[in-house]
Amino acid sequence: MNRARIFVLILAFFAQVLSGGTASQAAPPREIIDLGGGITLELSSIPPGIFQMGSDHCTPLEQPVRPVKISQAFYLGIHEVTQAQYRQIMSTNPSFFAAAKNQEASDYANADAHPVEQVSWFDCVRFCNLLSMNQKLTPCYMNKSRGTIIADNDAVTCDWTANGYRLPTEAEWEYACRAGTTTRYYWGEAMSSRAIKQYAWYVDNALETAWTKPHAPRPGTQPVGTKLPNAFGLFDMTGNVWEWCWDWYGGYDTRAQLDPKGSRGFCRVARGGSWSSFSFLLPSAYRSGTEPNCRPIDQGFRILRAIP
């Protein structure tokens, strides 16, 4: 092997190291989990990258706008976890908009495709760990005793190197939501009801006291994947249900960020707005927080798995 060839090989090696390797290029574009009982859960591969996180147009909590690097590719659920998927793993369905819980039960008798709600942050963590174990993957979440059976109010830590399922960090969530966009929403800046209705279930088409035609046949959550997706093929990142993230809800660190994993606080971050949210709560950068034991009727989650 001559010197020039060796030099090229060395250059190629460092180029691969600097680019974070080729794992994302080799990863299949979709992961489909068989949950049993004829129920599947589909995830889309999201490449690593750098994006401008935050916004100057929401509240001070979304500031400052700064570059954030997501260094590792990951799979993210293309939908919010549905009632059918949740029931299949957890053997229960806590949702309000399900036949057993709702006063208008007959209207929601077939709500399997609606996102699960009335789940606490701890419920989501338990779902992720149980799903990981069912799929013979390493659970990400541990309590103080390094056990993977998580109780309410446990001090939960995350093994970021584990190959199991977990909640997205809010940086991963916003990166996936934006899908390369820098605009207010992932469809651009259009704030009209007509524009938003193409992409999201929110007050104008899902809250009975505020909606205008055309609207859903009944108020509340709606079947997942019935609006337009973003450029990563993710549905309902805006609206339908708020989505729990890993992070504590607090002010952003102003320094440049590499895979940020959150602040300190008493609430966990929720993102994306819901069927009962007005448009000012829907921007890709907008942040909200919910006490981790709460189970709101407009909050659910979607799952992530890091691509090794």
Strands 242-248 and 299-300, how do they pair? parallel
Please choose, from the candidates 242, 230, 221, the residue with its C-alpha nearest in 3D space to the C-alpha of residue 96: 221
The residue number with the shortest CB distance to Ca ion is: 272
Residue 262 interacts with Ca ion (CB under 5 A): yes or no: no
- Contact window for Ca ion (CB under 5 A) among 34-42, 56-64, 234-242, 277-285: 234-242
150 vs 270 by CB, closer to Ca ion: 270
Strands 165-166 and 268-271: unpaired
* Pairing mode of beta strands 304-306, 257-258: unpaired
Among the residue ranges 8-16, 100-108, 245-253, 272-280, the one whose residues contact Ca ion (CB under 5 A): 272-280
The set of long-range contacts for 68-72, using a CB threshold of 8 Å and a minimum separation of 24, is: 68/171, 68/175, 68/256, 68/257, 68/258, 68/260, 69/257, 69/258, 69/259, 70/171, 70/172, 70/175, 70/259, 71/20, 71/258, 71/259, 72/20, 72/23, 72/48, 72/259, 72/306, 72/307
CA dist 211 and 208 (Å) reads 5
Instruction: Write down the least CB distance from residue 29 to Ca ion, Å.
Output: 22
Task: Candidates 117-125, 172-180, 208-216, 271-279: pick the segment binding Ca ion (CB under 5 A).
Answer: 271-279
Neighbours of 208 (CB within 10 A): 11
- 236 contacts Ca ion (rule: CB under 5 A): yes
**Contact, 241 vs 115, CB < 8 A?**
yes
Task: Supply the minimum distance, in Å, between the C-beta of residue 85 and Ca ion.
Answer: 15
Q: Is 148 in the site for Ca ion (CB under 5 A)?
A: no
Nearer to Ca ion, 62 or 243 (CB): 243
Nearer to Ca ion, 72 or 240 (CB): 240
Q: Quick one: 174 or 236, whose CB is closer to Ca ion?
A: 236
Considering the complex, what minimum distance in angstroms separates the CB of residue 158 from Ca ion?
22
For 5, list phi and psi in degrees, rounded to 5: -65, -45
Q: Which stretch binds Ca ion (CB under 5 A): 67-75, 87-95, 139-147, 235-243?
A: 235-243
Q: How far is the CB of 115 from Ca ion (least distance, A)?
A: 7
Q: Does 168 bind Ca ion (CB under 5 A)?
A: no
Stretch that binds Ca ion, among 64-72, 90-98, 160-168, 237-245 (CB under 5 A): 237-245
Q: Which of residues 73-92 bind Ca ion (CB under 5 A)?
A: none
| Residue labelled with tokens 């609206």 | 239
Structure tokens at 208: 């009975």
- Judged by CB, which is closer to Ca ion: 148, or 222? 222
| 67 cis-preceded (ω within 30 degrees of 0) | no
| Alpha-carbon span 52 to 39, nearest angstrom | 36
Choice between 72 and 236, CB closer to Ca ion: 236
Count of residues that interact with Ca ion, criterion CB under 5 A = 3
What residue spans of the chain are helical by DSSP H? 3-18, 23-26, 83-90, 121-134, 170-178, 193-197, 203-206
* Site for Ca ion contains 240 (CB under 5 A): yes
Question: In angstroms, what is the minimal distance from the CB of 155 to Ca ion?
Answer: 28
Give the interface segment with Ca ion, choosing from 22-30, 154-162, 207-215, 236-244 (CB under 5 A): 236-244
Q: CB-hemisphere CA count at 13 Å for 151? A: 5
Q: Does 272 bind Ca ion (CB under 5 A)?
A: yes
Contact residues for Ca ion, defined by CB under 5 A: 236, 240, 272
